[in-house]
Chain A
Amino acid sequence: MLDLLEYIVKKAEKQGASQAETYFYGTELLRTGIEKKQVKISEKKYDAGIGIRVAVKKTDGFSIGFSYLTNLTKKAADDAVKQALKVASFKKPDSDFKSFQEHKPTKTVKKIYDKQIVKIEPEKIVDLATDLIKAVETDKRITTISGALGLGIVKVAIANSLGVSGEFKKTGYGAYGYVVAQEKGSVGVGGDSYTACFFNEEKTFNAFKKARDLAIRQLNPKTIKTEKMDVLLQPDALASLLTSTLIPEVRADNIQKRQSPFVEKMGQMVASENLTVIDDGLTPQAAGSKPFDDEGCPTQTTTILNKGQLQNFLYNSYTARKDNVPSTGNAIRIVGGFTYKPKYAVEPLIGPTNFKLCAGEKSAQAKFEDIVSEVKNGVIAKEVIGAHTANAASGEFSVVLDTAFKVEKGEVAYPVRQAMLGGNILDALKNVVLFADDFKQVGGEETVISSTILIKNVRVSG
């Protein structure tokens, strides 16, 4: 693949580009769906393409053009180069653009390619799904078991005019179980997932069993009073909430656009001293890990909040040059929005790799059970609903606490029928007190790794 990419870079340079960059992304995905306690459908997809960026020098700066191709031939590549140059000709020069990513040596990332996944036949996944259903179907109250198992193989290659030239392979595995239980008109719902680079049967069973246990424990919920109480947000809930608040707010592009509450807050205490936040692209087995980002910049470990103090933002090469700092290796080719676009069809923006939350001090870390036992009046939420409606520019959110349980006098008392948590993410982060020991990774390319956190004394509406 690198041969074709380097051919394209040379071709673009010959046709008038000062710099060119090419990015190959190819995937092979297998997914088996479970519906109503049985295996329903299996799907296999292949997709591959190349994205081309060109920088054309004009009198007052560079203009960037982009195009892509899915027919991976030299002829199609020639046409795509012309198209990218055409788009560049229409654009005003961007005085902030200085260069694409320069070459830097990458570090090795361990355990992102599972040789076993490549060999797994569809029959094995169907058999696993059948066994999962059997393992979970242990209670008459369970009316539905749904979910999906997915395997993916990803190939990435990149080359540019500045000597960046690299490729890597990565695998992904994801399992999601969803269980509904019914008893005398009451409905209990539970879901759980497992995501990693490696296939893991045991963890898959654990996720499905957890979904089952939650569905049963959610039966016969009670309403709660509106009052201030302690809130235990579990990893899935945090991942949803942070993806729509803190993560976009620490992206350098949003800071430069002044669309973040962290503008001009560098070096300040913006969260509880109990909270440290790191973006780590090198974590073994984590879905967000990779040796280099989507512009070819080596990934790294970046401390964003150190014991509550704002220390860094997430950068790609463009925003880094604008602020005159090195890129943090957070260029990512994913755009939000409505129509799904494969990565090769998207120009790089900024996103996390593995966004990790951890205790600022050892004293802020405790066992999950011990944390619960200290809560006099509170609620535990496994998930939140509606986080994507948060206002990322200001950090304001209002979400429904889902798969939630009331905690009274140090014990999990009963399932909660309906409760809402509103506020500003900055206020919430200032009230973080403790971290549990139940670390979990949630997400794919952009992963959040966290344990349950205890937030003290916030208003919950019942």
Chain B
Amino acid sequence: MLLDLAEKAIRLAMDLGVEYVDARAEQIHSTAIRLTNDRFEQAVSGFDQGLGVRMLYKGAWGFSSTSSLELKDIQAVVKITFKIAKATSKGVKEKAKICSVKPLKDHVKVKTRQPLTEVGIDKKMRTVLVFSKTTRDYSPKIVSANLAYEDAVGQKVVASSDGANILTDIGRVYVSVNAVAKQAQKLTSARERLGKMGGFELFNEVNGDEIMEKAAKRAVDLLKAKPVPSGRFTVIADPRLAGVFAHEAVGHACEADLIIAGESILAGKIGKVVGSKLVSIFDDSTLAGGWGSQKYDDEGVPTKKRLLIERGVLKGYITNREAAAKLKLEPNGGARAESFSFPPIVRMSNTYIARGDHSFEELLEDITHGVYLKATRGGQVDTAKGTFQFNAEEARLIEKGELTTPLLDVSLSGLTLETLHNIDAVANDFELHIGFCGKGQTVPVGDGSPHIRIKNALVGGRA
């Protein structure tokens, strides 16, 4: 039914004389639960559906969406999209074009042993409640546990006037915990996440209680941590923080729409050295089990494993059809939209730094005075200037090759290119974590990395 409606919208738009049109329709059941200290602040199951239409008319884009799938509302949304595309075309100087791709038809299924639709909200609530108890029972110092559960199950379709026609089953489940510990006047917190593309079997496959205890333990351990001195240090970033660096500082700067917009320091640098020879970075939508994986993007283009940086040399960007045409690059399936109510834009999938050949101990042993940064509450980047800031959830001082005093509320900031050059060792371990990326729209992504060592990095603290 979704396919029929999308194709109906496309036919209606083509009758109006547009150059290109795509339509995306969705029907999604979702559950959201938030629990703080055993009280449900949110517990809701809902059903959302809708259709979004995007048109290219005289080189200008128009987009609009409706949460009704009634034929009359689809007719109306096509008319409005045409109207605003036409209005926009009056302000366009250089006409947007899209590259041609082979139109594909497919139905992508999601593997699941326990479909989310077969699990009631009561069972989901009980699961979250157990996780909350586990976190709080870890220690009397845990004063608060904030749990969030989200899932989504349903179908989405993308169809285009070129003949692409992709139906994708959706199944996604996610839990996060934020454990807060307190001693005297000191408050600390630590976060953990688990999730998978699939169904409720996640909670049989992964020991959720262990993950809750991990968050609780870190929060309690942080009570002993001291404020960090600010200044420049040699730092080791753990896989979580380094993965966020790969995503924030490098991945965003490789988004081809930002390259075209003149908002990236990596514009015009393909084939040039942008970092240390030890650094190779990929963005891979095809990674099995990746939180950001998908077979086709939201323009119906098959996705790829994209090589961004190979041994310090910039090799490629993440593209959508428009950017590929403009930059004369291959389309590599990088267009994603949060939902039917957003137009697809260039996004990352699973971004990671490739493994090196040192052990973690080897990274440590050369450091006389440095900081080991672990995990993160997130970060922010300015791709045009090439600056970034990340917070580390916990840290340790490194003295004469040994991990010593625990530190808290540490952040790392720097210039992307300088930092890429200052990576002087990459470990042979590796972890891939789940994350979410915001760029006006939020999409699930994976961030990965081994431990990396960075010379002369700016560490900010409050001591």
Interfacial residues, chain A to chain B (CB-CB below 8 A): 30, 32, 35-49, 64-68, 70-71, 83, 86-87, 90-91, 94, 121-123, 125-127, 129-130, 143-144, 146, 178, 180, 187, 189, 226, 253, 257-259, 261, 335, 337-341, 345-347, 349, 385-386, 388-391, 393-394, 396-400, 402, 418, 420-424, 459, 461
A420 contacts B411, C-beta separation under 8 Å: yes
Question: Which residue on B lies nearest to A392, using beta carbons?
Answer: B189
CA distance A190 to B263 in the complex (A): 12
CB distance from A338 to the nearest CB of B (A): 4
Question: Which residue on B lies nearest to A397, using beta carbons?
Answer: B409
Question: Which residue on A lies nearest to B30, using beta carbons?
Answer: A339
CA distance A110 to B188 in the complex (A): 43
CA distance A282 to B458 in the complex (A): 44
- Partner of B380 from A144, A178, A346, A385 at Cβ < 8 Å: A385
- Partner of A94 from B39, B377, B380 at Cβ < 8 Å: B39
Query: Which residues of B in the span 80-136 have a Cβ within 8 Å of any Cβ on A?
Result: 80-81, 83-85, 87-88, 90-94, 96, 121-122, 125
CA distance A295 to B187 in the complex (A): 32
Query: What A residues does B220 contact at CB under 8 A?
Result: none
Contact with A along B322-337 (1 / 0, CB 8 A): 0000000000000000
Say whether B168 faces chain A, with CB atoms less than 8 Å apart: no
CA distance A388 to B40 in the complex (A): 24
- Partner of B61 from A41, A86, A187, A189 at Cβ < 8 Å: A41
CA distance A418 to B459 in the complex (A): 12
Query: What A residues does B36 contact at CB under 8 A?
Result: 253, 257
B411 contacts A258, C-beta separation under 8 Å: no
- Partner of B341 from A45, A71, A226, A388 at Cβ < 8 Å: A45
Query: What B residues does A399 contact at CB under 8 A?
Result: 389, 411, 460
Query: What A residues does B72 contact at CB under 8 A?
Result: none
Query: What B residues does A400 contact at CB under 8 A?
Result: 380, 387, 389, 413, 460
CB distance from A416 to the nearest CB of B (A): 11
A122 contacts B87, C-beta separation under 8 Å: yes
* Given known A-B contacts A126-B87, A127-B90, A420-B458, A398 and B44 have beta carbons under 8 A apart: no
Say whether B64 faces chain A, with CB atoms less than 8 Å apart: yes
B442 contacts A339, C-beta separation under 8 Å: yes
Interfacial residues, chain B to chain A (CB-CB below 8 A): 30, 32, 34, 36-37, 39-49, 60-68, 80-81, 83-85, 87-88, 90-94, 96, 121-122, 125, 143-144, 148, 150, 152, 174, 180, 182, 185-189, 230-231, 257, 260-263, 265, 338, 341, 343, 376-382, 384-391, 408-411, 413-415, 436, 442, 444, 458, 460-462
B121 contacts A90, C-beta separation under 8 Å: yes
Query: What B residues does A420 contact at CB under 8 A?
Result: 230, 389, 411, 413, 458, 460
CB distance from A61 to the nearest CB of B (A): 12
Question: Which residue on A lies nearest to B338, using beta carbons?
Answer: A340
* Given known A-B contacts A40-B61, A388-B378, A398 and B409 have beta carbons under 8 A apart: yes
Could you give 26 example pairs across A and B, Cβ below 8 Å?
A32-B88, A40-B60, A40-B88, A42-B63, A42-B84, A43-B62, A46-B65, A70-B48, A71-B68, A91-B125, A122-B87, A126-B90, A146-B263, A226-B231, A258-B143, A337-B34, A338-B444, A345-B32, A385-B382, A385-B388, A385-B389, A386-B389, A389-B380, A393-B187, A398-B460, A420-B389
